[in-house]
Amino acid sequence: MSDAIRVARVRAGAIMMNHARGGTGNPVVLLHGWPEFWLVWRRLMGRLTDHFDLIAPEWRGFGDSDKPDPGPATSTTPDQLADDLRAFLDALGLQRVGLVAHDVGSAAAQVFTRRWPERVSGLFLFNAVHAAVGRAWIDGGHYARLWYQGFNQQPWAARLVGLSREACRLYIGGMLASWSRDPEAFDDDLEAYVDNFMKPGNLQGGFNWYLSVQPWRVAAIGGPAPKPPPLASVPVRVLWGRHDPVLLATWAEGLRQFFPDIEVSYAENAGHFVHHETPDEAAAAVARFFSGPRVRWT
């Protein structure tokens, strides 16, 4: 870990949230997905510490943040994570920030931006969950790629994956490898991921996300789920990995109906984890966006 990156915990409402922080400049908050924790941002942070004050929190149930729900639970919703993020920013004294978000983090970031747009200078999304996906979650045989979502909701899943380091390595490592364009993209960090998910509560903490969003996903597939109105006051930049097997690149354009001030492009050599797989490209795009004229910091 770079000496420029510091790791600490801070009270955010009812929980303690762990976070990594480094750099100087305007504050940019990095919001991870699953199966991730703050370390997934290390490559990006190392390239941007001369440009921004970078803060990478870990969600409730993840990493070294608190686990308020030790057993299978449904409270890790996007709304709850948005509330946690607001409390986290308040605790750090940050009134207006840039948000960079991926996967789970993208869902929470969109909720946060809609509820408190005055606190968001700009929203940068890597491969994102959003309301326009609808039946595409299952159409065209895509349901077969989402088997892990059903598995993660089983009450015994965390116990099974956590039976041994080897079991955890096979499952978490299999996710990281199969969702990356290069199956070896996480090899150097794999043992750190196993260490993280073998900590008490961390497997179930992540699995709780899937339990919590299942009603929303079912409603989205069925059609009656409400879609949010357009939000034009916050500029949005999207960089989507072309080869993501679970959040398909064809879904990126659907974000346009929610964010009129948006730019969408694709990382042609990345899968699900653009920020880790192609960090030079990702860092350059983040730097251009948050240093550009579309983003207002005051």
Task: Give me the residue spans of the domains in the chain.
Answer: 6-291
Interval 40-45 mean pLDDT? 98
| pLDDT given for residue 85 in this prediction | 98
Taking CA atoms, 240 is separated from 24, 69, 126, 234, 268, in Å, by 27, 32, 5, 19, 9
Annotated catalytic residue, options 103, 130, 243, 244: 103
Q: How many CA atoms lie within 13 A of 50 on its CB side?
A: 3
CA–CA gap between residue 160 and residue 124 (Å, rounded): 35
Q: Does domain 6-291 have CATH number 3.40.50.300?
A: no
Check pLDDT > 60 for residue 56.
yes
pLDDT in tens, 251-280: 999 999 999 999 999 999 999 999 999 999
Check pLDDT > 80 for residue 98.
yes
**β-strand pairing of 236-241 with 97-103:** unpaired
What does pTM read for this prediction?
0.97
Q: Is 276 a catalytic residue?
A: no
| pLDDT given for residue 3 in this prediction | 55
Amino acid, single-letter form, for residue 155:
P
Structure-token pair, residue 32: 């991870």
Q: Is 272 a catalytic residue?
A: yes
CA–CA gap between residue 160 and residue 244 (Å, rounded): 27
| pLDDT given for residue 1 in this prediction | 41
pLDDT in tens, 151-208: 999 999 999 999 999 999 999 999 999 999 999 999 999 999 999 999 999 999 999 9
CA–CA gap between residue 77 and residue 59 (Å, rounded): 11
Annotated catalytic residue, options 102, 210, 244, 275: 210
Annotated catalytic residue, options 102, 272, 275, 276: 272
Check pLDDT > 80 for residue 241.
yes
Lowest mean per-residue pLDDT among 1-15, 44-58, 164-178, 229-243: 1-15
Check pLDDT > 80 for residue 219.
yes
Check pLDDT > 90 for residue 70.
no
- Beta-bridge partner residues of 241: 267
CB 204 within 8 A of CB 212: no
Check pLDDT > 50 for residue 80.
yes
* Residue of 210, 206, 212 lying closest to 161 (CA atoms): 206
Interval 21-30 mean pLDDT? 98
Q: Is 171 a catalytic residue?
A: no
Lowest mean per-residue pLDDT among 15-24, 60-69, 215-224: 215-224
